[in-house]
């Protein structure tokens, strides 16, 4: 047998094994990233209609985004009692989104209609 042919064939086999391992790692990493991505970064919707936030209390995970959509014919705000977030006026048929980073319970109100109450719970 030609020794150089043998060694080059052995080298090719070794390379193919290494490539297979790299592929397996890449597939596992992609699946892991997809699983993590699914567990985080959800988007939740709160509809503002008839001078009410619906749902009135919304529970999300830190990192999630909440979208408030104003379906009333006049502006509303989403203003945290502790001012940690404030949408300012949301015009009719407009939305405001907020990504919740800090954990805790945040009661909020509409500065235009102070009887409107909502609560964002971030876990």
Residue 112 within binding range of Cu ion, rule CB under 5 A: yes
Contacts with 72 (C-beta within 8 Å, 6 or more apart), sequence order: 48, 49, 50, 51, 92
* CB closer to Cu ion, 80 vs 112: 112
Q: For Cu ion, which is the closer residue by CB, 66 or 110? A: 110
Q: Residue 106: what are its φ and ψ, rounded to 5°?
A: -120, 105
Residue 110 binds Cu ion, judged by CB under 5 A: yes
Instruction: Write the binding mask 64 to 103 for Cu ion: x where contact by CB under 5 A, - elsewhere.
Output: ------------x---------------------------
Residues binding Cu ion (CB under 5 A): 76, 110, 112-113
């Amino acid at each position: 047998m030609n020794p150089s042919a043998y060694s080059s064939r052995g080298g090719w086999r070794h390379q193919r094994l290494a490539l297979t391992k790299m592929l397996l790692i890449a597939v596992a990493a992609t699946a892991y990233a997809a699983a993590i991505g699914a567990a985080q970064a959800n988007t939740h919707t709160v509809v503002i209609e008839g001078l009410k936030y619906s749902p009135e209390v919304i529970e999300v995970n830190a990192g999630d985004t909440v979208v408030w959509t104003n379906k009333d014919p006049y502006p509303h705000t989403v203003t945290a009692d502790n001012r940690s977030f404030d949408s300012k006026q949301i015009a009719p048929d407009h939305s405001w989104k907020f990504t919740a980073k800090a954990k805790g319970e945040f009661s909020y109100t509409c500065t235009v209609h102070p009887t409107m109450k909502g609560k964002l719970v971030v876990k």
